[in-house]
């Protein structure tokens, strides 16, 4: 079974530029999550999709971040315009619907460096 895949693995951009991160969840997983870890801090929730709908986007830091999940398959997270404090590792995770234990399977992460 293919795992959660994320692209790119590492992106280096300048402040003010735009970056789009992509996540392909495990096939059949309705739940897709985006998390972020900035240097020295804990992994923080950004948002949660159930299929194509945003279930919870309370963790999105501001309106420079836009997440989409067209057709309920892969998801993109766009940062526009990027700021220095956006640097960190962006993890995507997926889980099956009705999984009571809600075990998350993570992708390898996309490391974003904003210069």
Select the span of 21-29, 33-41, 64-72, 73-81 touching other proteins (CB under 8 A): 33-41
Q: Can you tell me which of 2, 27, 28, 41 binds other proteins, judged by CB under 8 A?
A: 41
Closer residue to other proteins in complex, CB, 17/87: 87
- Give 78: exposed, middle or buried? Use CB within 10 Å, 0-12, 13-18, 19+: middle
Tell me which of 14, 44, 61, 85 binds other proteins, using CB under 8 A. 44
Asked whether position 42 contacts other proteins by CB under 8 A, the answer is yes
- Among 1, 28, 62, 100, indicate the residue that binds other proteins (CB under 8 A): 100
Residue whose token pair is 């240097």: 39
**Is residue 109 near other proteins by the rule CB under 8 A?**
yes
Binding flag, residue 101, other proteins (CB under 8 A): yes
Nearer to other proteins, 59 or 81 (CB): 59
Task: Please tell me whether residue 106 binds other proteins under the rule CB under 8 A.
Answer: yes
Residue 26 contacts other proteins per CB under 8 A: no
Q: What are phi and psi of 38, to 5 degrees?
A: -95, 160
């Amino acid at each position: 079974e293919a795992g959660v895949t994320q692209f790119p693995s590492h992106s280096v951009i300048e402040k003010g530029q735009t970056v789009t991160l992509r996540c392909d969840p495990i096939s059949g997983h309705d739940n897709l999550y985006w998390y972020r870890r900035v240097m020295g801090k804990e992994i923080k929730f950004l948002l949660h999709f159930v299929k194509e709908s945003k279930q919870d986007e309370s963790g999105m830091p501001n309106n420079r971040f836009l997440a989409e999940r067209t057709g309920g398959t892969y998801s993109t997270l766009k940062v526009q315009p990027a700021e220095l404090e956006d640097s960190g590792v962006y993890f995507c995770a997926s889980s099956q619907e009705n999984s009571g234990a809600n075990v998350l399977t993570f992708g390898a992460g996309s490391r974003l460096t904003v210069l």
